[in-house]
Amino acid sequence: MSKQPIFVGAGVALVTPFLDSGEVDYSRLEELTETQIAGGSDALIVCGTTGEASTLTEEEQAEIIRRTVYKVAGRVPVIAGCGSNDTARACRLARQAEAAGADGGLVVTPYYNKTTQEGLIRHYWTVAASTALPLILYNVPSRTGVGIHPETYAVLAETENIVAVKEASGDLAAVARTVRLCGENLVVYSGDDALITPMLSLGAMGVISVASNIVPDRVHTVCMKFFEGDVKGSARAQIGLMDLIDALFCEVNPIPVKAALALMGRSVGSCRLPLCELSETNRERLRQVLCRYALCS
């Protein structure tokens, strides 16, 4: 079967804004949504890693998805994080995302449990059977402690509503093997802002990007230049973003990107514990980089 991409281009892994009280700032969420669409983002991904899903309640996730879907009003796809290290909870979150009107679900590998490849297959089969949503698998072994092997992708790609993967392993050779094994059965998205153009060269259809929170137009350009046949232009745009990307990952995501938005005058509140504020050394480094990109004074 040939799987259709949920989106093509640059999808933003949207931060979740919080009030000083620690509650979700839904008003600012709506502002961010409009800013991203105006900036050229091709999809909005909410309640993912960058959205601090691990500290959101299920009720908060449902409300974030519902409000984002309402605000977007069909202009771009809305993809909802619905992963968990508890398969039953992941199924509930997937059904909840579907009920809230999401266009797709992003399902991270089960973290901490460190299951086997057979366990991953059974986990994803179970989640896929619980919903009609098209699902994007999310492979980020540096955060979860477990990675999806290319051969495992090949098995999972036979499931109709497992349509794509967000690959953040940094292993381009493994991505190439996945593309060879799965062909058109599985859409690939880059999960690493530093590897957008290389991933596109291996057949990826876009990126789910942290940097798009800051420069959605420039991340969109990296993708569109490639798809228009201007590979050198895409590479130049990618290289031109590297200092910013490095700064945005100077500490664990989403600490730096939230600090960057604050430095740009678009405060989205602090991260929820156990994530804390950016160190002063890295804040100054980030400020200097943002100034070089003319993003703050």
Contact 49, 13 (CB under 8 A): yes
pLDDT digits (tens, 9 = 90+) for 227-241: 999 999 999 999 999
- Tokens 């992941």, residue located: 90
Q: Which amino acid is located at 175 in the chain?
A: V
Cα–Cα distance measured from residue 267 to residue 286, given in angstroms and rounded to the nearest whole number: 15
HSE-CB at 142 with a 13 A cutoff on CA atoms is: 10
Strand partners, 162: 135
Residue 1: what pLDDT? 67
- Tokens 């999972």, residue located: 156
- Find, among 181, 132, 174, 139, the residue nearest to 157 by Cα: 181
Specify whether the backbone of 203 is left (phi greater than 0), alpha (psi in -120 to 50) or beta: left
With vertex at residue 52, the alpha carbon angle to CA 127 and CA 69, rounded to the nearest 5 degrees, is: 65
B/e letters for 108-130, b = 16+ CB within 10 Å, e = fewer, are bbbbeeebeeeebbebbbebbeb
The number of beta carbons lying within 10 Å of the beta carbon of residue 149 is 15
- Tokens 């420039």, residue located: 218
Cα–Cα distance measured from residue 256 to residue 286, given in angstroms and rounded to the nearest whole number: 8
The number of residues in the chain equals 297
Inter-CA distances, 182 with 23, 27, 83, 200, 256, Å = 42, 42, 23, 16, 35
Contact 200, 190 (CB under 8 A): yes
- Find, among 96, 90, 80, 85, the residue nearest to 43 by Cα: 80
Does the structure show a pLDDT above 80 at 297?
A: no
Which positions are catalytic?
138, 166
Domains and CATH numbers, the chain: 9-232 (3.20.20.70)
Per-chain mean pLDDT for the chain: 97
Does the structure show a pLDDT above 80 at 86?
A: yes
Cα–Cα distance measured from residue 149 to residue 172, given in angstroms and rounded to the nearest whole number: 12
Cα–Cα distance measured from residue 222 to residue 196, given in angstroms and rounded to the nearest whole number: 7
Residue 173: what pLDDT? 98
The number of beta carbons lying within 10 Å of the beta carbon of residue 291 is 12
pLDDT digits (tens, 9 = 90+) for 227-276: 999 999 999 999 999 999 999 999 999 999 999 999 999 999 999 999 99
B/e letters for 21-52, b = 16+ CB within 10 Å, e = fewer, are eeebbbebbbebbeebbebbbbbbbbbbbbbb
Mean pLDDT confidence for 290-294: 97
Q: Which amino acid is located at 114 in the chain?
A: K
Would you call 160 exposed, middle or buried from its count of C-beta atoms within 10 A (0-12, 13-18, 19+)? Answer: exposed
pTM reported for the whole predicted model: 0.96
pLDDT digits (tens, 9 = 90+) for 147-181: 999 999 999 999 999 999 999 999 999 999 999 99
